[in-house]
Amino acid sequence: MTSETLWYANRATGAVCLALFTVVVLLGIAVRLRTRLPGLPRFGTVALHRSLSLSATAFLALHITTAVVDGYVDIGPLDALVPFVSDYQPLWLGLGTVALDLMLAVLLTSLLRDRLGHRTWRAVHWLAYASWPVALVHGIGIGTDAGTDWMTWLTVACVATVITAFALRTAQAVRAARQTPAALLHTEGAH
């Protein structure tokens, strides 16, 4: 493969990762909200979330591999795993590495979910909410397509949908908190 081919592959897989991980976050929120997607039973939403998570992870592996294999810039395997040690754009590449490390924690605990228990898995799974914006900032800072119209629109669409879904998730959590027995007792005692 030529360096130019690897460069295009790296750019393409980065954009695909943004789109796929956005859908994964949206599906994760849909699962938590117990939302049924049209044409799918509830467990179908969970299955789709898991399948797309693995697909996104495969594209992420391709994204990292093309960055390491491409000799145009000096990014080694250590640079891809240890944040902020690279000589090449250490901040932006380091943020990508942080996002990768967070996603690896989510992936590993998801694979070991039955052994870890639900509480541990869920606590670590919250890292996905941190990983997504860190990866987004990585792409904006280091991505050669970040200033193009198509990438700007893709980024805006991804951010808008995740913010909307997160707002719905937060509103649902607030409503649920108001429905707890302690909250109901507090409300009844106020009258």
Convert the chain into a string of H (helix), E (strand) and C (coil). CCHHHHHHHHHHHHHHHHHHHHHHHHHHHHHHCCCCCCCCCHHHHHHHHHHHHHHHHHHHHHHHHHHHHCCCCCCCHHHHHCCCCCCCCHHHHHHHHHHHHHHHHHHHHHHCHHHHCHHHHHHHHCHHHHHHHHHHHHHHHHCCCCCCHHHHHHHHHHHHHHHHHHHHHHHHHHHHHHCCHHHHHHHHHHC
Q: What is the pLDDT of residue 188?
A: 55
Question: pLDDT-based confidence at 40, cuts 50/70/90?
Answer: confident
Neighbours of 91 (CB within 10 A): 13
Q: DSSP character for 126?
A: T
Q: What is the pLDDT of residues 96-142, one digit of tens each?
A: 999 999 999 999 999 999 999 989 999 999 998 899 999 999 999 99
Residue type, 130: A
Q: What is the pLDDT of residue 187?
A: 56
The answer to whether 59 and 20 have CB atoms below 8 angstroms apart is yes
Residue 183 to residues 41, 88, 166, 171, 174, Cα–Cα distance (Å): 32, 53, 23, 16, 11
The answer to whether 22 and 161 have CB atoms below 8 angstroms apart is yes
Residue percentage of the chain with pLDDT more than 70: 93
Q: What is the C-alpha to C-alpha distance for residues 52 and 17, in angstroms, rounded to an integer? A: 11
pTM of the complete model = 0.88
Length of the chain: 191
Mean pLDDT across the chain, nearest whole number? Answer: 91
Q: What is the pLDDT of residue 179?
A: 79
Q: What is the pLDDT of residues 153-190, one digit of tens each?
A: 999 999 999 999 999 989 988 888 887 766 556 655 55
Is the predicted pLDDT of residue 92 greater than 90, yes or no?
yes
